[in-house]
Amino acid sequence: MMGGMLPLLLLPLLLPLLLPLLLPGQLRMVNGVATEEDGPANNRAALHDFGQDQDQDQDQGWSRGRQLSSYDTTGPCVCNKDEDFMRMGKYRFAMSHVKLNPPWWQNVNRKMGGFAFAKFMGVRAPEVLGCVQFHPHNTVSPAKAKIETARRVLRKLQQQRPGGFVIKPAEGYSASGVFLFGNNSIVDVSAMHQGGNSHVTIHYVARKMVLGGGNWQAEEMITSMSPGKVEDYKFLMFGGSVAMVLYMQRSTSNDCIAVTDLTNTFRYESNVNCIGAPTKTSNCSKDFLPAARKRNALTEWKSCTDLQMRNTVLTKANRKEPDPTAKRLWDKTVAAVKKMGAVIDVQMRIDMFIPPQGPTIGEFTPYHRSNLKDCFWGPPRTSGGPRDKCYLGKLWKEFGYDKKEGMASATAMHALQPTVPLPSFDNVSFHDVFFDPYGPFKPKCLAAGMDPNNWHSIQ
């Protein structure tokens, strides 16, 4: 535990030294807190190209080739700096990590925190079937014994849930480490995305868990309204307003993605004409080089065809003559994300599943696509006009990127609160339960609804 905590304990001491190097000439230190000289409205937010700690999921799981980087870009700045969505997102990331105690909205970015928040808001969350904590490798049991113990835990889950369940790392990203246990098979979702052999054994999963270490959670298997598909709907929110809907369909190597609005009025060809994130030197988003765009088109998820979209809730709910069941589910889902977004009241992506039981939370993501690239050029502002590359940044600016997000200083950001009080668990506040990703795991699982008998600690 101390090995995981040490970087966090040193962070407040190191940041005053590191920030001037990462953000040269742009931030000054006031009482150990980074503050902007002139504020983001005056375009002095310096951004840096360091990776997102827990939020690599947005881009790493969406490509089968080498990831495009901001160093594949060229030309002038695409957007004004106060309307540059990725620039704004990178600065927000930096500010949110200045202090050891993160802003409250990071709590819903933790998977269990997101589940607990959604349930508090009256939105369905996957049932937490069990949690497994592995202690460091140099403790009591050798790896072989730990693997056998993990196998017994998985066998027990199979007996309890013969219809299937999901096992995944508690703080993982994308599909990495996610395994689907079905009636007669176990599927490695990451391998499925890559187009390789995705069927694995229970010993393989147990070994992956032990080698990966840390915390793992078992969840209810969420079924899709589209037979044989794994679907999720990603809503990019500014408070209670939906900026876009990103639909993802996972099946085999024929995965696809679609970007649209709430009524499926327009479809956007995603992942091809993206713009790249700021670098340490450019400090603004730019167009990708032609070679990078070509590689992007070959490696990224393809846009969903009409055939792939035909049986989705999104399509069936928004037809000229909508399917009544799909319409009811879609309306409930939209109402749920608007309700949760209004309480969070900052820019947040809310990922949802839509099974027959009703809208179900997947996760909350404050750093869409890790602020690496923006592939959503919004609908034309005027009929027949060009799509707007700076659409999301303009919406964020209009929403109140500066004041509502607390961007004047790290102190202001960390002072933000949800619009309604959040619950406590066993007299411990919501924030204290979830804020530390390296903190005690069992209270997080219990707060998310786990039966205490399904807690497993493997020494």
- Quick check: 330 and 318 in contact, CB under 8 A? yes
Q: What is the pLDDT of residues 237-288, one digit of tens each?
A: 999 999 999 999 876 557 888 888 899 887 776 566 788 888 777 789 998 8
Residue 227 pLDDT class (50, 70, 90 cuts): confident
More confident residue, 31 or 315: 315
Q: Report the pLDDT value the prediction gives residue 381, as an integer from 0 to 100.
A: 66
Q: Is the pLDDT of residue 233 over 70?
A: yes
User: pTM higher than 0.95 for the full model?
Assistant: no
Token pair for residue 249? 């369909």
Q: What is the pLDDT of residues 157-213, one digit of tens each?
A: 999 998 899 999 987 766 788 999 988 899 888 887 666 678 899 999 999 999 888
Q: Is the pLDDT of residue 16 over 60?
A: no
- Report the share of the chain in percent with pLDDT over 70: 79
More confident residue, 39 or 446: 446
Q: Report the pLDDT value the prediction gives residue 31, as an integer from 0 to 100.
A: 26
Q: What is the pLDDT of residues 282-310, one digit of tens each?
A: 789 998 888 877 777 766 778 888 888 98
Q: Is the pLDDT of residue 393 over 50?
A: yes
Q: Report the pLDDT value the prediction gives residue 163, as an integer from 0 to 100.
A: 87
Residue 409 pLDDT class (50, 70, 90 cuts): confident
- Quick check: 261 and 233 in contact, CB under 8 A? no
Q: Report the pLDDT value the prediction gives residue 195, as an integer from 0 to 100.
A: 65
Query: Longest Cα pair distance anywhere in the chain, in angstroms?
Result: 67
Instruction: Specify the pairing of strand 214-220 against strand 165-169.
Output: antiparallel
Q: Is the pLDDT of residue 69 over 80?
A: no
Q: Report the pLDDT value the prediction gives residue 38, as an integer from 0 to 100.
A: 29
Q: Is the pLDDT of residue 367 over 70?
A: yes
Q: Is the pLDDT of residue 10 over 60?
A: no
Q: Report the pLDDT value the prediction gives residue 32, as an integer from 0 to 100.
A: 27
Q: Is the pLDDT of residue 363 over 90?
A: yes
HEC string of the chain equals CHHHHHHHHHHHHHHHHHHHHHCCCCEEEECCEEEECCCHHHCCCCCCCCCCCCCCHHHHCCECCCCCCHHHEECCCCCCHHHCHHHHHHHHHHHHCCCCCCCCCHHHHCHHHHHHHHHHCCCECCCEEEEEEECCCCCCCCHHHHHHHHHHHHHHHHHHCCCCEEEEECCCCCCCCCEEECCCCEEEHHHHHHCCCCECCHHHHHHHHHHHCEEEEEEECCCCCCCCCEEEEEEEEECCEEEEEEEEEECCCCCEEEEECCCCCCEECCCCCCEECCCCCCCCCEEECHHHHHHHHHHECEECCHHHHCCCHHHHHCCCCCCHHHHHHHHHHHHHHHHHHHHHCCEEEEEEECCCCCCEEEEEECCHHHHCEECCCECCCCCCCCCECCHHHHHHHHHCCCCCCCCCEHHHHHCCCCCCCCCEECCEEHHHHHCCCCCCCHHHHHHCCCCHHHEEEEC
First to last CA, the chain: 13
Q: Is the pLDDT of residue 407 over 50?
A: yes
Which residue, among 269, 273, 268, has the nearest Cα to 292 in the 3D structure?
273
Residue 408 pLDDT class (50, 70, 90 cuts): confident
Q: Report the pLDDT value the prediction gives residue 139, as an integer from 0 to 100.
A: 52
Token pair for residue 71? 């160093």
